[in-house]
Amino acid sequence: MNGLRMYINGADAETRGGCTVFYSRREDGPYYRWSYDDHASEWQVGRVLSTGVSPKMFAPATWKTVPAGLQRSIVEHYED
């Protein structure tokens, strides 16, 4: 997964379903928002409109801080 970057919202601690909301971006591609749906017991992903984001709003997140279930979902999402 070359060029994959993970982020969290740096302005406020954004959570959903008791879990941190993460954002991802691969190289110069679109941003994706990852949030946990506790009713479905799975991570939900949605593409973020480019007009709705600014790189200044994000803080870098390390892969180690990403929950294991989300790591699997991200790997599946970005499979080539």
Give pLDDT tens digits for 45-68.
999 988 877 878 899 999 999 999
Q: Determine the structural domain holding residue 37 and report its residue range.
A: 4-77
Which H or E run includes 70?
A: helix 68-77
* CB contact set of 66 (below 8 Å; sequence gap of 6+): 6, 22, 74
According to the model, what pLDDT value does residue 74 have? 95
Q: What is the mean pLDDT of each run of 10 residues along the chain (80 residues)?
A: 88 85 92 93 92 84 94 90
Looking at the 3D structure of the chain, how many domains does it have? 1
Q: Which of 33, 54, 52, 34 is nearest to 43 (CA)?
A: 34
Prediction pTM value: 0.89
